[in-house]
Amino acid sequence: MSNFYLAQRLRRLRSSSAMRSLFQETSVGLNDLVLPIFVEEGVDDYKVIKAMPGVMRIPEKRLAYEIERIAKAGIRSVITFGISHHADATGSDTWNEEGLVARMLRICKNTVPEIIVMSDTCFCEYTSHGHCGVLCDHVVDNDATLINLCKQAVVAAAAGADFIAPSAAMDGQVVMIRKALDAAGFIQTSIMSYSTKFASSFYGPFREATGTSLKGDRKTYQINPMNRREAIRESLIDATEGADALMVKPAGPYLDVLREIRDNTKLPLAAYQVSGEYAMIKFAAQAGIIDELNVVLESLGSIKRAGADLIFSYFALNLAEQKVF
């Protein structure tokens, strides 16, 4: 058998499992993952979310039990989403010290003080119209919404949030929230900005998960998915406004954006693998078309490879429970 002379033989470093591990460039672990949780007030039972197989709404009265279970499984961080039964025109329950946002945070931090709790800071689950802020002539009023975001952020910080995670996509939300937190003495409360948030159809299943009543869309405040330069600009602006960490959302369809932001800032960068990305993998796996675990690991690995330091993912708990890492 004669061999050719080839200057490069990349198969050498792929020849065994040990060799492949030694030269693996990217890896995902539990320390990188943030688990989003849905908490419903005023109900006794868990609620299955049909659009997101494997994810349930947690009744508020079971939250202490669940957060303990989540922490025991090895999850280090969660982000809270409330399902409100007290929606109104402005989402005022979010800045009520006894409202759902504050209660969720207190329950989580009082039960497991060491878990990092991020508070999704928005209004769409708490407004009767489902928009992410105050409506004025059918348009979300940016600066009126900023005032309410600041009130919510201070209440969330007082309730124990480690991170305020503004996702309303209002201009100036990071600088305004930073000032409000500092003025109230919460200089140690961090801001995880949903800095590059697209007006994406991949959020579809989340609407069922949270029961938002939105008619129409969010295109006047979230970014046009076709705009890459603008998407980079959004994150760079939030960096100058004082964000502690940036985020790209959704993740999988926007890996180019993730990489470009990674190359243009030194801030920590997160990516949110959203409900639609989760659902596509789940339903394809249920249909027997793909291998769920391997596709999940490949999708998370790709998001890290593109530049994310941490990933928000609905798969996190299942991976932790299966002791995959």
Q: Would you say 107 or 124 has its CB closer to ligand PBG?
A: 124
Q: C-beta of 314: minimal distance to ligand PBG in Å? A: 7
Q: Would you say 80 or 265 has its CB closer to ligand PBG?
A: 80
Stretch that binds ligand PBG, among 40-48, 60-68, 116-124, 177-185 (CB under 6 A): 116-124
Sorted by sequence, the CB contacts under 8 Å of residue 207 that are 6+ apart come out as 214
Residue 163 interacting with ligand PBG (CB under 6 A): no
Q: Would you say 206 or 315 has its CB closer to ligand PBG?
A: 206
Q: C-beta of 248: minimal distance to ligand PBG in Å? A: 13
Rounded-to-integer distance, Cα 272 and Cα 263, Å: 18
Q: Would you say 163 or 206 has its CB closer to ligand PBG?
A: 206
Residue 275 interacting with ligand PBG (CB under 6 A): yes
DSSP designation for 89: S
For residue 83, what are the CA distances in angstroms to 63, 127, 202, 213? 13, 11, 20, 12
Consecutive H or E run containing 152: helix 142-158
Is 323 designated active site?
A: no
Number of residues that bind ligand PBG (CB under 6 A): 9
Residue 120 interacting with ligand PBG (CB under 6 A): yes
Q: Which of 38, 126, 163, 203 binds ligand PBG (CB under 6 A)?
A: 203
Tokens 């394809």 belong to 284
Residue 200: CB atoms within 10 Å: 18
Q: Would you say 190 or 212 has its CB closer to ligand PBG?
A: 212
Rounded-to-integer distance, Cα 222 and Cα 150, Å: 19
Q: Which of 39, 51, 102, 122 binds ligand PBG (CB under 6 A)?
A: 122
Q: C-beta of 128: minimal distance to ligand PBG in Å? A: 15
**Angle (nearest 5°) at CA 14 between 8 and 16:** 140
Q: C-beta of 230: minimal distance to ligand PBG in Å? A: 17
Tokens 């470093």 belong to 13
Stretch that binds ligand PBG, among 43-51, 120-128, 175-183, 284-292 (CB under 6 A): 120-128
Is 61 designated active site?
A: no
Rounded-to-integer distance, Cα 161 and Cα 125, Å: 18
Residue 167 interacting with ligand PBG (CB under 6 A): yes
Residue 231 interacting with ligand PBG (CB under 6 A): no
Residue 281 interacting with ligand PBG (CB under 6 A): no
Residue 104 interacting with ligand PBG (CB under 6 A): no
Q: C-beta of 164: minimal distance to ligand PBG in Å? A: 13
What phi and psi, each to the nearest 5 degrees, are found at residue 161?
-60, 135
Rounded-to-integer distance, Cα 272 and Cα 267, Å: 16
Rounded-to-integer distance, Cα 189 and Cα 65, Å: 25
**What six digits make up the tokens of 129?**
């119209």
> 73, 320 in Cβ contact below 8 A?
yes
DSSP designation for 36: E
* Binding site residues, ligand PBG, CB under 6 A: 120, 122, 124, 167, 203, 206, 218, 274-275
Catalytic residues: 197, 249
